[in-house]
Amino acid sequence: MIYKMKLWQKIFVSSFFISILLLGFCGIFTTVSAHRLNLEKEYAFTKQLTNQIVCTLTENLQTEAKSIKHAGDLLDQIQKKTVPPYIFIQLKDGKKLIYDGLGKAPEPLRYDFGYKITMGNVYTQTIQDSNHLFIEKQFPFFGKMYTLVLINNLEQIYDMCNTQLKTLFLLCGILSLVSALVMIIISFLITIPIKRMNEAVAVVTSNYYSYRLPVTSADELSELSGNFNTMCEAIENNIKNYKLAIDNFTHEVKSPLTSIIGYAEILQSPQCDEQTRKEAVNYILNEGKRLNSLVRKIMGFLVIETDQLDKKRILVADMVHMACMSVQMKADMKNIKIKHDISDKIYMYGDEELLVTSVVNFLDNAIKASKERSKILIEVSHQDFALSELIIRDFGSGIPQQELNKITELFYMVDKSRSRTHDGVGLGLSICKAIIQAHKGQLFIESKEEKGTTMHIQFPYLGYQRMEKATLDLFSST
């Protein structure tokens, strides 16, 4: 049933039972260990006392030349004056009892906590519900062996153990109640952030993305709350960006459509002359092409995000050459030189058409930002001829630092005035970023105003190694 409990209840139940078990185990272990130690001390004391009484008994009987019959009188004196009141003396001739200072019959052993002393002449027995320690010591007297038995009543030791156990159980009960109360409070306090997070999830689910959790400490739950806030902020920003993208897209489509409809109405007018008709047709054609390009870019962006790529082995020099050919006319119009010196051995795996498109976009932006008679540099770095980084550097107007984190967003343009004059709608870099990410790469942009911009396109080397190995395995199998 514990799996049906709430988290704070699980914390309380598990920690409560574990603490009780540990407390009980430690208490019982300590009590039993102390009890065994006391028994061993009593055994050592009784054994030493037995040896002393045997020496005293034999010396007195031999010195005064008395018979064993007079031992009873001597043992009476020793019983009264020498030994403690809880120790008793017996003297045996074989199995015959000559002297008995106890006067009680043994009974079956009551309990010993797993520590029953049975070592030949040392043993324990129960007499009238009390445990007694028996130690036997044999000694010769006039050529005959007699046995001295010392009987130690262990009732005080066992009573002490019982008292300790009762105290332990009482303490366990009190501590259990106190710990239960403390654990309930602690477990409830620990799970408060989780409860707040559940409530926050419900709030965010109802489209209130600006909600934030309070972060009041530095523990793991507060860290989780901070990550939750970061997630909500990212979702809120993404939604705002997508709304802005939709608004921009609507604006980009609405303006040319309105003009196309207006020119179409002019064409239907009987007063339309030949010159006006040509202007209207040209405008409709140009705007239609621009709308078609816009739709293709949007569709291409969506396809890229699904990661449906036709990857194959590409020579980087060929890819860069094709991209440079596509923008050469624009570069010549501003007398801009595009310089690159790439080895024919450098390769990568990817969708050639999309990669060429991304390089064309980078070069197109570089040309737009560059002044006349400037230059654009294309450099590469590799590992074992596998492309690791492609660098495109221009020396143009650059990008303001506050704009660097936004230029890859949909429909975002640093220079808003370039929307019409350069046939741009802010889709180029967003598509480039999507293409690079679809190839497991990363795009880093460095820029300084009036000094130029550098695009760093980095690709994972291990991915090429796996692709190259798979290709070689395929060829070797065929």
Task: Give the integer Cα–Cα distance in Å for 89 and 149.
Answer: 6
Give the three-state DSSP class for 446: strand
Per the CB < 8 A criterion, the answer to whether 337 and 376 are in contact is yes
> Which region holds residue 368: left if phi is over 0, alpha if psi is between -120 and 50, else beta?
alpha
pLDDT of residue 373: 92
CA distances to 31, 35, 42, 168, 348 from 22, in Å: 14, 20, 30, 13, 62
Task: Give the integer Cα–Cα distance in Å for 409 and 431.
Answer: 9
Count Cβ atoms within 10 A of the Cβ of residue 180 and give its class: 0-12 exposed, 13-18 middle, 19 or more buried.
middle
308-477 shares the fold of 220-301: no
Per the CB < 8 A criterion, the answer to whether 372 and 386 are in contact is no
CA distances to 113, 121, 317, 335, 393 from 339, in Å: 93, 106, 12, 13, 10
Task: Give the integer Cα–Cα distance in Å for 49 and 411.
Answer: 103
Per the CB < 8 A criterion, the answer to whether 363 and 338 are in contact is yes
Sign of torsion over alpha carbons 14, 19, 20, 26:
positive
CA distances to 84, 229, 371, 392, 446 from 366, in Å: 108, 38, 10, 8, 13
SS3 content of the chain, % helix, strand, coil (to 5): 60, 20, 25
pLDDT of residue 247: 67
In degrees and rounded to multiples of 5, residue 140 shows phi and psi of -85, 145
For the chain, 478 residues long, give each residue's pLDDT as a single digit of tens: 556 677 767 777 777 788 788 888 888 888 888 888 988 898 899 889 988 888 888 887 776 656 666 777 788 888 888 888 888 888 888 888 888 888 776 655 444 544 444 555 788 887 877 888 889 888 887 778 888 889 888 888 888 888 888 888 888 888 878 888 888 888 777 777 778 888 888 888 887 778 888 887 777 777 888 888 888 888 887 777 677 667 666 766 776 677 788 878 888 888 778 888 888 888 788 777 767 766 666 666 555 554 566 788 999 999 999 889 888 888 999 999 999 999 999 999 988 888 888 898 899 889 999 999 999 999 999 998 999 999 999 999 988 887 777 777 655 655 544 444 444 445 568 778 888 888 889 999 999 988 999 999 999 865 555 555 555 454 444 4
Q: Check if CATH label 3.40.190.10 holds for domain 2-180.
A: no
Give the three-state DSSP class for 281: helix
Count Cβ atoms within 10 A of the Cβ of residue 375 and give its class: 0-12 exposed, 13-18 middle, 19 or more buried.
middle
- Would strands 337-340 and 375-383 be described as parallel, antiparallel, or unpaired? parallel
Q: Which residues pair with 90 in a beta bridge?
A: 100, 149
Give the three-state DSSP class for 266: helix
> Which region holds residue 88: left if phi is over 0, alpha if psi is between -120 and 50, else beta?
beta
Task: Give the integer Cα–Cα distance in Å for 79 and 89.
Answer: 7
Q: Where are the domains of the chain?
A: 2-180, 220-301, 308-477
- Say which DSSP state 168 is in: H
pTM over 0.95: no
* Helices (H), ranges, 306-377: 316-333, 352-369
Task: Give the integer Cα–Cα distance in Å for 170 and 175.
Answer: 9
Residue that has been written with the tokens 């343009």 in this structure: 413
Write out the CATH class of domain 220-301: mainly alpha
Task: Give the integer Cα–Cα distance in Å for 181 and 197.
Answer: 25
Task: Give the integer Cα–Cα distance in Å for 390 and 397.
Answer: 21
Count Cβ atoms within 10 A of the Cβ of residue 265 and give its class: 0-12 exposed, 13-18 middle, 19 or more buried.
exposed
Other beta carbons within 10 Å of 464: 22
pLDDT of residue 468: 56
Q: Check if CATH label 3.30.565.10 holds for domain 308-477.
A: yes
Task: Give the integer Cα–Cα distance in Å for 84 and 154.
Answer: 12
Kindly calculate the radius of gyration of the chain based on its CA atoms and give it in whole angstroms. Answer: 49
Nearest Cα to Cα of residue 351 among 407, 313, 323, 297: 313
Sequential DSSP letters for 360-384? HHHHHHHHHHSPTT-EEEEEEEEET
